[in-house]
Structure 1
Amino acid sequence: MAALGADPTVVSDETRAAIEQNAGVRLHEVDPEVLSFVVEASRKCGNDHFKRGEYQKAAESYSQAIAGRPDDFTLFGNRSAAYLALGRASDALLDASKAVLVSKSCGTPWAKGYYRLGCALERLERFDQATEAFSEGLALEPQNARLADKRDKCAGLAEDAKNARVREEGTARRDLVLKLREARRAEVQLQMQNQYKQAMQSPNFEMEDFDWRPTFFPSSRLRRRGERSSTDSSYVAAVAGYCRRLFDLESPRRDLGLLSQGGLLGAYEAALAAALKEQPGAHVLVLGSGSCVLGLMALRCGARRVTCAFRTPSLRRMASVAARENLEDPSRITLLESPVEECVVEDRADVVVTDWFDHTVLGLGVIPSLEAAASRLARPGAKVVPQRVAVRAAIAELRIAKVSGFDLSYLNAYRWHPGHDRCDLSRELAQGSETYRLASDSFVACEVDLQQRLDAFAGGSGAGVEEAGENGERPEWEAEERVEAVASEDCVANAVAFWMEIHFGGGGAPVTTWPGHPAALSQGWPSAGHLGQAVSYFDEVPLSAGDALEVSVFVGRDRLLFHLPGRASRPRHACVPAWHYDMLLDSSRNDAYEGAIRRCVESRRAFASAAKITALDVGAGSGLLSMLAARAGADAVVAVEVSQHMCDVGEECVVMNGFAHKVLFLNRDARRMDVSRKPDGTPPDMEDKADIMVYEVFDSGLIGEGALHLVAAARARLLKPNASIIPCAARVYCAPISIRVASAAGFDFGQLNRYSWRPDYVGVELESIPGDWEALADPVEVFSFDFYEHEANMAPAEKRIEFAIKKDGVVSAFAFWFDLQLDEEEWLSTSPYGQKGRTWQQAVQRVEEICVQAGSGLPVVARHDTYGISFDLDDSMVDRGDLSSGVPLWDPVWKVSYDRATE
């Protein structure tokens, strides 16, 4: 047996000695000239055999030559070629490696040796190493075409092999994802069965039905919507009625947004003035605008009479408040009590003005309302304000890719919307991610001529509009436009982004609903930014720069639809809300958490190097914090997520990123978990208590998602006594602010602030609307939470504070925010005065308006019930009636409707 480490490319010393003894000749005693002659003869013989295809004999001849001249690297190269021809790739690799090594030791690196080495590696399908060998040979002979061709070929094969490995690994991981998902489903069913057994009951549904989730087929939007679903099904009718009630309750607050759009109001007034100049003393019909601002402007421009129709009763009530505040004789404006489809007036209108637009363009029913007005309320030839709407669109890529070094692209399958998702395109495109961008120039998707629609239906003719069918139904789609959008760069498109340009005629600039668009910015167009922009999602389409993507734009009476003809669309089951993507792209939040987790793991490892470190991630969501903990060195991570489909999402991300061996996803409510076996025999949720708890379950008001309860439950049952908690503490700050409508277009709308009230605080990104609010006092700290003191945190608390008012004004709300302490070094703040990411907004709680003066004090009571924070005026210190602005906290009729809808 050859000695360990012996060179397999040459004859061993033992073999050489045996051959010399058998032949009776010692090689070192042979005349060098004779030895050289024998070596060259063997080389020539080997070359001849190789040319004739006698590769075995060639290898033997080269071996004889090598025995006489073991330092000749060309002989090893030749034998490598012979071995390779014989299919002995491993032997060929040894000889080629020896040829390269010997040539380098001789100071004459041999390019052909690298060629032989690359060929052997290629045969062994070690393409990366083969490419490297050919590249080194090219460095010696840059003009060698064979080396260049081989290098390029192996580089391509290496890339193909890498992609194949990735696909194989991806397939294996996806199989694991499905198996884990099935196991979790079975576990949930087992828990349900045990609960029914304990209660000695049985479910009134099949257990499999618990896993059923509605399936949405995007292609179904192309079909006609059935009328039976809304009339035959009592359940559908009840849901539809409830949705209409919610729309009625929310519509007043939405309509208040119009009052902040000075450019849009100016365009309306200019168009009304032009129309009334042509028809002095005309009758104006207003469709929409619960603030009544359009009706008031019409009277100021010289209208003889104004009639207003509304979408909901709450809007009519709000308009009556505005009319009483701004008119000595409110009867000059007639507020119709019935929907426009049911109204008839004796004196038909000469001018029709509407603001029934939203981000979906036609979703508020402006077309059916114009048709109804044309047949019952407007004269033939009546003028419409605005005249037409152009819908501009662009192909967009709005996708998650790499986040903190992890591939979270699997979340993109959950980014969709059954209709059109409202968004702020300027905000989305400023995410700082290469996969958030417009991928084409904007194009006109369609135009809706409102004047033409009114003229077509004037007097009930309906001319110019597609006729109804035999059954009296109109076609679902009245027009279809096909547009080719050309990609401006390489991308993976997954949406059409669109917005409106509202044209009022008279040669004026259009009003845009995307004020951040370059054309609008450069030309100074007035804005209707309160309507927002929209995106319509489709399945991902890879595009190269210059590729054309055909988009069909269907235009109906009450909606638009963007569709990619000839492309399949996958069914959808669940979606991830838009705010979750903002949170994942908040690099400041992610970096702060990563730093705190890494320091915690390193610290615990330093004090207990042999101990196993287990981390608990509560509210795991996409699994990002779990993967950060695993990457930081935690030996095991238990990720807990109460939402089933978010658990599916997070588990997929974890497995596909290669952390399945460290991270275990549990579809649980952490407040009901334990490390002990349960009374019904169910195994414990965790094998052992955790050393680290990491969590991010904070809303804009800090504790609204139950953070205090989750920490308390974990401290009691899931964490070791010395466990670390990330974050570890928080401080809440508050300031009284004035965020209200005072006046617009020269009219007083202060009384309409009563429609802004909601019982709970709402999230508002105050730093993005600096002109819409004003702080009337410096912020003060109201609550401080040490999350290690979980028992104290679980007791509701009340605190009296006093704000030092620094300027005169009307306090209409309290804004509060928090500073979050992750560890001794890292803090995150949601203050509107600092630099923060987009994960959190500030919390704004509306209160009854009070007037304050600079230099005075404002006594306030701050409370928290462990689930939310609230503020109110301290009635024991001040008379609320003396400070009242005269605006009630809410409209009593609206409040009754709200209570009925939420009871």
Structure 2
Amino acid sequence: MSDWSRELSAALASGETQRMREALARVPQEAMRQALPLLEEMAARSERDGRLEEALFYRDCAVDAVPERLRSRAARAGLRLRLARYAEALDDATRLLAASPSDPEAARIAAQAHEAMGDAERALPLYRIAAVDASDSASAEAVRRLESELRKADALRRTLDPDAEPMRIETPPPPEIRFDPAVRDDPTMPADAEAFRIDGIARHLWRYSGQSSPRNAIARLQDPLWRDAWNRALAATAGQRVRFVGSELGVLALCAHRHGAAHVLCDERYPLDARIATGMVQKHFIGPWHARYGDAIRDWSEDERRASFEEFARAVDIAAPSGAPGSQERVDQERVDQGRADQERADEDAGAPCDVLAFPQIDHTLLGTGIVRAVRRHPTPEVLPARAVLFAMAVRWRYPDDGARPFALDAVDRLRWSAYPQPLDLDAELWEPMTAPTCVGRIEFAAFEETAWDLALPALRDGRIDAILVWFELRLGDVAIDSGPDSALRCLRPAVYDANGVAVRAGDDVALRIEAHETRLHARTVPSPSRPHAQGLPSWYVPMLGDTRRNAAYREALRRSIGAAPVRLALDIGAGCGLLSMLAADAGAARVIGCEQQPGIAAAGRETLAANGYADRVSLIEKECRSLRIPSDMPERADLALFELFDCSLIGEGVLHFLHYAREHLLTADARFLPMGATLRAMAVEYRLDRLLDVDASLLNPYLASPEFANVDARTLDYRPLSAPFDVFEFDFATAGPEPQERALTPVATADGTVGAILFWFDLRMDATAVLSNAPDGDGTHWKQGLQFLPEAKRSAGEPLPLVARHNGSALRFQWQGESMPSEVFSRLPRLDPRWLAANAELEQQTRQLLQHCAHHPEEYAKVARIAQRMAVDPARYGLDPTIAQRFMRMFLNAKD
């Protein structure tokens, strides 16, 4: 027996707390971890016997032994609360909430601690979180009690002091947060960032990422070039053992099996992907299995059937993940007990030999979804893709010159930034090369080494470097596919790295540095961009500014309107950077006032107006339309309302609400409206997945659909019209209000098929002579189309399609008319996976609770924001979807400049 073991035995026998503490301090850490069950048992026994101080000693030891184990910390928090150590209990509960924002037990402990310390205002929102647990009647009662007490206290205070302001539950304001561009160069977590907080956020976002993964896979599978490249590459795997890290929901696994692969193992990255892939594989094999064994199956027991089918389908295996990458809470005993069998299977699969490793889940940044880590984890003779050749080019942003006066929009360009490189989704007219494309170097995935390339590229012209485009040629066996600017590939576009407008002259060398790290590719100018960011542009904003059809339609309509009758004052509602305001001034409006509620865009708009010489005629106010007042904001009512407040559903940005207010408070009785009105139009379509790569893909349709309508580019969809276009709602903007409307519609099926969605668009009446439309068969605009999914129904040509269209002033929805069709025409497959929807709703609720918690704790807000920025820059390090990580980061950017 070792010295520390004998000393510990004697100390435990003595029952003296200080002696036991000193003895335990000399126990090796690994031994303490192994002794965790004993420590917790001793703590529980001491609590049952009423020896709470002794129990706390054991709880402290358990937390010290495994700091990341949340169950141990929760038990200690509850015990500290019983011992009236409220500040210490609150510290534990705060850590638990940072790791799991929706944990009702942690919220209850934190609430009770706050209340015990006399802080009812902070206790109340925490009790509300705890009361989500329907069994916690005490927390629900505490919510009612505290609400009542706070109201009474407020009433008493105002009785004693009638002039006092009504009491508000004040919390310290959160710190101003901006994105620090230095994080792009080094996204390592700060040394003082607690592991439990990092782990909690990573696990939450990993679960979010898993919910998004099926949609991402389907988007890749719908790209015919990408799909064909993988089909050709997998044709060479006949007779080989293939491991997929992400099998595209089983489709590529079954494709490899069809091409003769000896065995296929799918190492899925998320539980939902594994569940879907398992269903795809089972559906693929169930028919041939029945065909082989026929009636004999009926005489087998359930266990015999299961064993037979598993043996029959053993050519394709699915391995589900055991937890989030890097998740420190895997040691939690509940998860270990529940998932032990799955983990043993996953460990066995992880060591299984294979001839080919396939990693199809590559994004536009090449390394940002974790291909290098996957290859290092599973060394194989062949990797698909095997290598990539990198290319780069410096560019500047531009806006198309349609023959009219060009405007300087440099101030808007400063809002074009992203923590993670975005795919280039712009027409060629919206950017201009500042250097020639150059080959950077080659990356071999099986022999990857971190590398940096320093480039000096001659500038082609005077100007500035706004961004660096990086793309690659990917080698899939004998197949080459490239993501360059001129490529027809849809699912992979060049990656855009911010450069912050470095000024250059023609012939100057542009210094660039491209770095290949294990989990990311990073491109930057030398020196690196250094301007912090807070406000940014939504993804649709630049395409809107560059929409020449839209701009020309507004310009010509303004000229006709103001040319026919002078305008004293035009009101530009939702003015953005002031482009339409400047067009109105050019058309002859004596004065233009624009309103824009987004601070960053409003500031850029004022700078744009000044830079283009309009500051004396055009004003831009940082307010929402319904906050404007006369005469403080406007000297008089306007006689022209100018607006472009349309999403693909026409009314989704609130145009009817804004116009209703403007007519009542801001416009003359005879004011003109530009546009004058609009017609919302639609058609019924068949849009579904049937076969992909000769694989039955019908099980994927619940993940293709969405509960709300989707914004789509119909030119890229493989849909089939099943009705003629029909009118849905008509709006005259001089009179239309936000009141709800409902309309029964009965278009007729024009062909046999399965109606599963309504594709819709709008025709804008700019004036009495001109219409601007985003119809799917027309010339393109920055507005795309809307797609509302419906329960699928089989219909024959000539049969009616009884629909109902509704809107509440801003939200549009289509549905089938109640009992208008027999139930047998509808598909038995759910339109949406209810488990998937429920998980999404739960995650959204947890995010709201986390934000609420951070809003009440400024220090916590700052800590989470720092972590979020690093996860957004390097999501693959934590196994996260880049879009999810970046969206989370932006929730914490609150600075106005």
TM score, norm. by length of structure 1: 0.66
Residue 266 of structure 1: CA displacement? 4.1
> Secondary structure of the residue that 1:510 maps to in structure 2?
strand
What is the deviation of 1:583? 0.9
Contact 1:512/1:529, CA 8 A, preserved across alignment: no
Aligned AA for 2:839? S
Q: Partner of 1:550 in structure 2?
A: 511
Q: Quickly say closer, same or farther: Cα 1:570–1:324, change in 2 above 3 A.
A: same
Q: 1:901 aligns with which of 835, 838, 843?
A: 843
**Of the candidates 647, 655, 664, which is equivalent to residue 716 of structure 1?**
664
Give, as a single letter, the amino acid of the residue that structure 1 aligns with 2:516: V
Pair 1:699–1:242, CA change in 2 (3 A): farther
Maintained 8 Å contact 2:499/2:529: no
Return closer, same or farther for 1:237/1:670 CA change in 2, 3 Å cut-off. farther
For 2:635 and 2:756, the matched residues in 1 are separated by 52
Going from structure 1 to structure 2, the CA distance change for 1:631 and 1:528 (only over 3 Å counts) comes to closer
Amino acid at match of 1:782: V
Task: Note if 1:531 corresponds to 2:492.
Answer: yes
SS at match of 2:747: strand
Q: After the TM superposition, which of the residue ranges 489-498 and 733-742 deviates more from structure 2?
A: 489-498
Helix, strand or coil at the partner of 2:555: helix
- Give, in angstroms, the shift of residue 863 of structure 1: 1.0
Alignment partner for residue 440 of structure 1, among 417, 435, 441? Answer: 435
Paired residue for 1:807, among 738, 751, 760? 751
Distance (whole Å) between structure 1 residues aligned to residue 368 and residue 499 of structure 2: 20
AA at the equivalent of 2:321 = S
Aligned Cα root-mean-square deviation (Å): 2.6
CA distance 1:493–1:401, change in 2 (3 Å)? farther
Over residues 181-207 of structure 1, what are the superposed CA-to-partner deviations in whole Å (9 max), with x where a residue is unaligned? xxxxxxxxxxxxxxxx9953468467x
Distance in 1 (CA, whole Å) between partners of 2:607 and 2:400 is 14
CA distance in 1, matches of 2:437, 2:581: 40
* Aligned-pair CA distance for 1:829: 0.7
Counting only pairs closer than 5 Å after superposition, residues 339-378 of structure 1 correspond to structure 2 as 343-345=346-348, 347-374=352-379
**Segment of structure 1 superposing worse, 613-622 or 803-812:** 803-812
Q: Quote the residue 2:830 is aligned against.
A: 888
Alignment-derived partner of residue 809 in structure 2 = 866
Which amino acid in structure 1 is aligned with residue 652 of structure 2?
G
User: Are 2:480 and 1:510 equivalent residues in the alignment?
Assistant: yes
Quote the Cα distance in structure 2 between the aligned partners of 1:734 and 1:540.
Answer: 43
Aligned to 1:326: 284
> In the alignment, what sits opposite 1:602?
563
Map 1:180-219 → 2, pairs under 5 A: 199-201=165-167, 204=170, 213-219=176-182
Aligned letter for 1:363?
G
Q: 1:542 deviation in Å?
A: 4.0
Q: Which residue of 2 aligns with 1:746?
A: 694
Deviation at 1:233, TM superposition (A): 7.2
What's the CA shift for 1:779?
0.5
Aligned to 1:589: 550
Residue 255 of structure 1 is matched in structure 2 by 217
Q: How far apart in 1 are the matches of 2:743 and 2:192?
A: 53
Alpha-carbon distance, 1:595 to partner: 2.3
Change (3 A) 1:233 1:704: farther
Alpha-carbon shift at residue 693 of structure 1 (Å): 1.0
Equivalents in 2 of 1:531, 1:327: separation in Å?
32
Q: Does 1:221 align with 2:187?
A: no
Provide closer, same or farther for how the CA distance between residues 217 and 445 of structure 1 changes in structure 2, counting only shifts above 3 A.
Answer: farther
Distance 1:647 1:240, change over 3 A: farther
Alignment of 1:418-457 (within 5 A): 418-424=419-425, 427-429=426-428, 431=429, 436-453=431-448
Deviation at 1:818, TM superposition (A): 0.4
Instruction: Tell me how far apart the structure 2 counterparts of residues 229 and 490 of structure 1 sit (CA, whole Å).
Output: 45
Q: Does 1:756 align with 2:728?
A: no
> Which of these residues, 818, 832, 857, is aligned with residue 800 of structure 2?
857
What do residues 42-71 of structure 1 show as CA deviations (whole Å, max 9, x unaligned)?
xxxxxxxxxxxxxxxxxxxxxxxxxxxxxx
1:306 has 2:268 as partner: no
Tell me if 1:704 matches 2:681.
no
Shift of 1:373: 2.6
Whole-angstrom distance in 2 between the partners of 1:822 and 1:264: 41
Q: CA deviation at 1:555?
A: 0.9
Q: Does 1:664 align with 2:619?
A: yes
Q: Which moved more, 1:239-248 or 1:251-260?
A: 239-248
Give the conservation status (yes or no) of the 8 Å contact 1:401–1:409: no
Return the alpha-carbon distance in structure 1 between the equivalents of residues 557 and 585 of structure 2.
Answer: 13
Could you tell me which residue of structure 1 aligns to residue 113 of structure 2?
A: none
Separation in 1 of the partners of 2:644 and 2:721?
Answer: 29
Q: CA deviation at 1:738?
A: 2.0
Shift of 1:318: 1.9
Residues 814-848 of structure 1: per-residue CA shift (max 9 Å, x gap): 1100011122222211111122422x111111222
Structure 1: distance between partners of 2:395 and 2:735: 48
Shift of 1:316: 1.4
In structure 1, give the amino acid aligned to 2:546: L
Q: Which has the higher contact order (CA 8 A, sep 6+)?
A: 2
Q: Distance in 1 between matches of 2:824 and 2:192?
A: 55
CA contact (8 A) 1:515 1:529 kept: no
How far apart, in 2, do the equivalents of 1:755 and 1:615 lie? 46
In the alignment, which of 497, 501, 513 is matched to residue 469 of structure 2?
Answer: 497
Q: In the TM superposition, what is the alpha-carbon distance from 1:778 to its structure 2 partner?
A: 0.7
2:761 to 817, 822, 836: 817
What's the secondary structure of 1:484's corresponding residue? Answer: strand
Give, as a single letter, the amino acid of the residue that structure 1 aligns with 2:605: G
1:878 corresponds to 2:821: yes
- Partner Cα distance (1:528, 1:830) in 2: 24
2:758–2:814 CA contact under 8 A, matched in 1? yes
Q: How many residues align?
A: 634
Q: Distance in 1 between matches of 2:439 and 2:703?
A: 37
The CA deviation string for residues 839-888 of structure 1, in whole angstroms up to 9 with x for no partner, is: x1111112222222222221111111111211111233212x32224432
Q: Report deviation, 1:673.
A: 3.0
Give the corresponding residue for 1:391.
390
Cα distance in 2 for residues equivalent to 1:270 and 1:587: 40
Q: Distance in 2 between matches of 1:415 and 1:347?
A: 46
**For the residues of structure 1 that align with 2:660 and 2:531, how far apart are their CA atoms?**
42
Where does residue 31 of structure 1 map in the other structure?
none
Amino acid at match of 1:437: E
Cα contact 2:270–2:320 (8 A) shared by 1 = no
Aligned-partner residue type, residue 255 of structure 1: A
For the residues of structure 2 that align with 1:686 and 1:384, how far apart are their CA atoms?
Answer: 66
Structure 1 unaligned residues grouped into runs of 5+: 1-196, 375-380, 454-464, 466-477, 518-526, 606-611, 677-683
Mapped partners of 2:270, 2:731: distance in 1 = 44
Q: Which residue of 2 aligns with 1:337?
A: 320
Contact 2:395 2:434 in 1 (8 A): yes
Asked if structure 1 preserves the Cα contact closer than 8 Å seen for 2:411 and 2:605, the reply is no
Which residue identity does 1:445 align to in structure 2?
A: V
Paired position in structure 1 for 2:728: 782
CA distance, structure 2, for counterparts of residue 224 and residue 633 of structure 1: 52
> 5+ residue gaps in structure 2?
1-162, 287-311, 326-342, 846-897
- SS state of the match for residue 347, structure 2? coil
After superposition, the Cα gap between the structure-2 partners of 1:568 and 1:748, relative to the gap in structure 1 and judged at 3 Å, is: closer
2:521 paired with 1:560: yes
Q: SS in structure 2 opposite 1:217?
A: coil
Cα offset, 1:581, TM superposition: 1.4
Counterpart CA distance in 1 for 2:518 and 2:565 is 64
Q: Deviations over 1:337-357 (max 9, x none)?
A: 225967412533232111120
Task: Tell me the alpha carbon deviations over residues 712-735 of structure 1, each in whole angstroms, 9 at most, x when there is no partner.
Answer: 011111111111111121101010
CA contact (8 A) 1:309 1:339 kept: no
Deviation of 1:296 after TM superposition, in Å, equals 0.8
Query: Any idea what SS the aligned residue of 2:605 has?
Result: helix
TM-score (structure 2 length as normaliser): 0.67
